[in-house]
């Protein structure tokens, strides 16, 4: 596949980007290198290669679900700027 000025301009329009002529030339060269690399990869026979689903052999590794100590409600409300005996008090944010 050949990357030309029209393709670079079309991609720039789709991405809503503006490039100078010098930037377009650099982008055109880089796109051509990427496409050449992908075309080179397409030459490989991958018919017997299974698709890669996971990067490691670990599958659904879960930790044990156990109860651990936590802070009490009183400790949680201790540093609150404003609270009652059970909840944080916050300024009203919904206007009527």
- How far apart (Å, rounded) are the C-alpha atoms in residues 82 and 75? 14
**Looking at the predicted structure, is the pLDDT value of residue 28 above 90?**
yes
Q: Model confidence at 50, in pLDDT bands (50, 70, 90)?
A: confident
Q: Which pLDDT score, from 0 to 100, does residue 58 have?
A: 74
The more confident residue out of 2 and 58 is 2
The contacts of residue 31 (CB under 8 Å, 6+ apart) are: 3, 7, 8, 11
The share of the chain scoring above pLDDT 70, in percent, equals 100
Pick the CATH number of 5-42 from 1.10.3470, 1.25.40, 1.20.120, 1.10.20: 1.10.20
Q: Which pLDDT score, from 0 to 100, does residue 18 have?
A: 94
- Residue 77 neighbours by CB distance under 10 Å: 17
Residues 54-78, mean pLDDT to the nearest whole number: 84
What residues does each domain of the chain span? 5-42
The more confident residue out of 95 and 4 is 4
Q: Which pLDDT score, from 0 to 100, does residue 26 have?
A: 94
Q: Which pLDDT score, from 0 to 100, does residue 56 have?
A: 80
Residues 76-92, mean pLDDT to the nearest whole number: 88
């Amino acid at each position: 596949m050949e990357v030309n000025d029209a393709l670079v301009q079309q991609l720039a329009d789709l991405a809503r980007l503006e490039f100078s002529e010098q930037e377009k030339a650099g982008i055109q060269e880089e796109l051509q290198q990427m496409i050449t690399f992908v075309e080179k990869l397409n030459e490989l026979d991958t018919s017997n290669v299974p698709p890669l689903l996971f990067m490691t052999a670990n599958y659904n590794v879960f930790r044990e679900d156990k109860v651990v100590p936590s802070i009490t409600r009183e400790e949680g409300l201790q540093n609150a700027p404003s609270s009652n005996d059970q909840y944080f008090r916050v300024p009203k944010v919904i206007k009527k």
